[in-house]
Amino acid sequence: MKRLLYICIAIALLGTTGCEKNEHSPYYVLWLSAKVVDEVGEPIEGIHLYLEGGEFVGRTGFTDYKGEISGARSYTPPMERWIVHIEDVDGEYNRGEYESTTIDITDMVAPASVPDEWGYSGSCLLDMGIITLQKK
């Protein structure tokens, strides 16, 4: 029984040696910040912002009670077009239902470098400023 346990441990240790970090990750990292308001400038909580083809990790992709999303980190492969979707997903909870919209941020995103200082294809900190949504 001990011999089987030692063999399992040895196999597990050998399997972990292949988990080293690549020299160059194929992912681009985008940190996204914005403030979402209604037609009269009031902040809107609970608006979902997400990058098409990307995945937010760590911090949430939803606006807080001040209508802000700050430093939301998304990993994505480098793309030719960068599109952010903005959606009201909670219905009437935030003083009404708001129209969804998309924003093309391609011209705002720094081009991919090979590699950046963290080993990714590129990275960009992007402040989209104030986004105004219309009620449905």
Structural domain spans, the chain: 21-132
Q: Which phi and psi (to 5°) does residue 111 adopt?
A: -65, 150
Model-level pTM? 0.72
- Rounded CA gap, 90 and 64, in Å? 13
More confident residue, 52 or 117: 52
Q: What is the mean pLDDT of residues 43-66?
A: 83
Fold observed for domain 21-132: Immunoglobulin-like (2.60.40)
pLDDT at residue 14 tops 50: no
Question: What is the Cα gyration radius of the chain?
Answer: 21
- Rounded CA gap, 104 and 108, in Å? 9
The pLDDT value recorded for residue 58 is 59
Write the CA distances from 27 to 60, 94, 99, 121, integer angstroms: 19, 34, 31, 6
pLDDT at residue 31 tops 50: yes
